[in-house]
Structure 1
Amino acid sequence: MRRQDDLEDRAGWLIWLQGLLADRGYDVTSARSGDKTRFALDAGLAPATVTRILGGKAPDLEVQVTLSRFLGVSLDELLVRTGKAEETDFHHSMNESGHTAVSSETRLTPEELAVAAGFPREDREWFATMVRRLRKQADENGSAAGGAAAEG
């Protein structure tokens, strides 16, 4: 029989995952949206695997590595959130530096940058507008400094 705190941890993990996916345009809570299948295809996962994950089963290590890469979150954070590891299992605290790492060479959109920086949902549009203005101003002035600073 599952302990109550196990059920709460599982619910917390799913809420966190659903939030990340919603931020990326996937509505995995609706059975009719088709976003579960789209998410599975985009992430390189089998639809049955996504169904199991969204049903509450913590993914195995290989799937967590895939999710980590797709979601842009560290593997240690994913392992902790799914209950497969504890934060003390790692040499550093996930909140130690306060910095977000970018693991790909793909240029982030202003909206993605706002999410990565932890801006509240209601402030992200404002932030994206300001980044675009800084980029435009830098282009007009012939300077790359403003645009580089705006990109993070």
Structure 2
Amino acid sequence: MRRQDDHYKPVDWLTWLQGQLAERGYDVTSARSGDKTRFAVDAGIAPSSVTRILGGKAPDLEVQVTLSRFLGVPLNELLVRTGKASESDFQPSANESGHSAVSSENPLTPEELAAMAGVPAEDREWFVTMVRRLRKAGTTDGSAAGGAAAEG
């Protein structure tokens, strides 16, 4: 369902898409080139979907995901260009900083830190050991810096 505040402009979208495809060697503006069919096959999109898109209809989400991968363009950019979303939909709200809060009353375990930081499984044991060493070093020299740094 298209949102009320969207400003979908098929000409802008089509012009942009045709430019993207032309850069990749597809002339989808010519009826006889065969590039519409070639594009559909190469991108993995049904020819009928390509016809609808080139006719001015914004693609559905599944097709946009496929187009995103094929063109190497972020999905959020396609969603905005086609009017399915607005740029503000992808902006973090004022209370979303992207950081996790750590309570001093309940510090995270080294294992929780590793999971939150996305440490690969093969490096987690090493990571956990280093965090424990940093925490221990912070308590033996009277400083809390090692523990605070290890907690993020």
Name the TM-score class by shorter chain.
0.5 to 0.7
Report the equivalent of 1:122. none
Give aligned-pair identity as a percent.
78
Residue 15 of structure 2 aligns with an amino acid whose one-letter code is I
Q: Secondary structure at the match of 1:39?
A: helix
**Deviation at 1:91?**
2.7
Q: How many residues align?
A: 87
- Give unpaired runs (5+ residues) of structure 2: 1-5, 93-152
Q: Distance in 2 between matches of 1:32 and 1:10?
A: 23
Q: String of CA shifts for 1:82-120, please: whole Å, max 9, x gaps.
A: 00000010036xxxxxxxxxxxxxxxxxxxxxxxxxxxx
**Deviation at 1:23?**
0.1
Q: Secondary structure at the match of 2:83?
A: coil
Report the equivalent of 1:38. 38
Report the equivalent of 2:91. 91
Q: Distance in 2 between matches of 1:89 and 1:68?
A: 18
Q: Distance in 1 between matches of 2:30 and 2:12?
A: 18
Q: Distance in 1 between matches of 2:31 and 2:7?
A: 26
Q: Distance in 2 between matches of 1:42 and 1:21?
A: 11
The aligned runs of 1:17-28 (5 Å cut-off) are 17-28=17-28
Q: Distance in 2 between matches of 1:33 and 1:45?
A: 18
**Deviation at 1:10?**
1.0
Q: Secondary structure at the match of 1:58?
A: coil
Residue 71 of structure 1 aligns with an amino acid whose one-letter code is L
Report the equivalent of 1:60. 60
- Normalization by structure 2: what TM-score? 0.55
Report the equivalent of 1:116. none
Greater length-normalized contact order (CA 8 Å, ≥ 6 residues apart): 2
Q: Distance in 2 between matches of 1:69 and 1:42?
A: 12
Q: Which runs of 4 or more aligned residues in structure 1 lie more than 3 Å from their structure 2 counterparts after TM superposition?
A: none
Report the equivalent of 2:102. none
Q: Distance in 1 between matches of 2:22 and 2:15?
A: 10
- Normalization by structure 1: what TM-score? 0.55
Q: Distance in 1 between matches of 2:91 and 2:85?
A: 13
**Deviation at 1:74?**
0.2
1:81 aligns with 2:81: yes
Q: Secondary structure at the match of 2:88?
A: helix
The aligned runs of 1:137-148 (5 Å cut-off) are none
Report the equivalent of 2:104. none
